[in-house]
A and B are shown apart, each in its own frame.
Chain A
């Protein structure tokens, strides 16, 4: 998880006074009701102010405990904390990327035309934007349990990947956009009808953000995280 390296930790000593970055909940770039009718305001408010906040809170707690374990050279405790860091850190990363890759449907950003280079690469890879959406939809609906679907750039090519629970995309890939398939992302509005949620989320994808991420590198995609430190 290379972006954690950006946390300002002195490398010459692990005194208890070391400074540990504390993450905070990033503000949504639009109002809670701005994605209606695709995603209800109630879902957005709970999802952002409760679920995402919980990941941030638990990540900060895990990192604080981890720092203490580091300074005590307590390797078993460091290992025991990995799962909590991955889950809560992943939750923070995934949601931070997600909010930014959504947009009110009325915005020009929600028009695939605002991603000319990305949509050209999508057409090259899948044949057409519709065929890509079909493939992505199939991947999303095939997730067993909680997880995410991502369009990622790997090298110069595009790929659809799914990740379980809050596992973040932290290989070499650049996350172009993500779609949250946890039930809390849609259940209050769509109940068990997750296919309808997948259909409707295409109307609120922020293609402008997607284009920027596609043209940039991992550092660019993850700058939102540094901003929330």
Chain B
């Protein structure tokens, strides 16, 4: 396998947009695939489910456009380059070259996964974005954090505590079903025993053009565009 099983399964499990991207390329004629039979279809940049300007004034249209069209695209390209290099090395039995790609696979694969999840867990304010979670999700939040307000406070504290680039995630522990907040450095994806429900990008490129060094204002504003419907779906309502 060119992709570690854990990453492959999370690719297929967590991101419908990613699956769509993979299916689109995998559908090309078999004859065309023959010369590159080790390439299982390239990842493609998923469409945003809303316009670039749709999250204003909380996240500017310019940020969204650069973030999606440039940054996410770069991760997609890097992920494809890494998987191809691994497949080529594998075909030659060159374990050393394959292993050398591992950090790039994690970084770009993680960047692709994280952003794909992120776009889907945001929505324009008043059109699926903002407000409060309800139903079973709210019950679980109240149980594990005390209240929705506490969840926001803990998440914002986790975001503020990230030293460098990274993400904060509301995750569900697959064994216990409990909710918790975790942070990940750079583009490390949430894998293993945690199911990612809600991701917030704390890289400077996610807010700097609008908020500059005032990142606490971004962390406060983003709650107005959280898509709780997506979060509830991932939670398993």
Chain A residues at the B interface, C-beta cutoff of 8 Å: 46, 50-51, 54, 83, 87, 144-147, 164-166, 182-184, 187-188, 191-192
Contact across chains for B186 and A183 when beta carbons are under 8 A apart: no
Contact across chains for B213 and A184 when beta carbons are under 8 A apart: yes
Contact across chains for B213 and A144 when beta carbons are under 8 A apart: no
Residues of A within 8 A of B205 (CB): 183, 187, 192
9 intermolecular pairs with C-beta atoms under 8 Å apart: A145-B165, A145-B186, A145-B187, A146-B204, A165-B163, A182-B204, A188-B208, A192-B70, A192-B74
CB distance from A40 to the nearest CB of B (A): 13
Tally A-B pairs: CB < 8 A: 54
Residue B169 CB within 8 A of the other chain: no
Residues of B within 8 A of A166 (CB): 163-164
Contact across chains for A46 and B164 when beta carbons are under 8 A apart: no
Residues of A within 8 A of B212 (CB): 46, 50, 184, 188
Residue B91 CB within 8 A of the other chain: no
Enumerate B155-210 residues with CB–CB distance to A below 8 Å: 163-166, 185-187, 203-205, 208-209
Contact with A along B197-234 (1 / 0, CB 8 A): 00000011100110011000000000000000000000
Q: Interface residues of B, CB < 8 Å — how many?
A: 20
Residue B16 CB within 8 A of the other chain: no
The residue on B at minimum CB distance from A144 is: B107
Contact with A along B51-73 (1 / 0, CB 8 A): 00000000000000010001100
Contact with B213, one of A46, A83, A165, A192 (Cβ below 8 angstroms): A46
Residues of B within 8 A of A51 (CB): 213
B74, B163, B165, B187 — most chain A CB neighbours (10 Å): B163
Contact across chains for B186 and A192 when beta carbons are under 8 A apart: no
Residue B103 CB within 8 A of the other chain: yes
From known contacts A145-B186, A192-B74, infer whether A183 and B163 are also in contact, taking CB-CB under 8 Å.
Answer: no
The residue on B at minimum CB distance from A187 is: B208
Contact across chains for A144 and B164 when beta carbons are under 8 A apart: no
The residue on A at minimum CB distance from B186 is: A145
Query: Assuming A144-B187, A183-B208, A184-B208, what are 20 further A-B pairs, CB within 8 angstroms?
Result: A46-B212, A50-B213, A83-B163, A144-B103, A145-B164, A145-B166, A145-B187, A146-B165, A146-B204, A147-B164, A165-B164, A166-B163, A182-B204, A183-B165, A183-B204, A184-B204, A187-B204, A188-B208, A188-B209, A192-B71
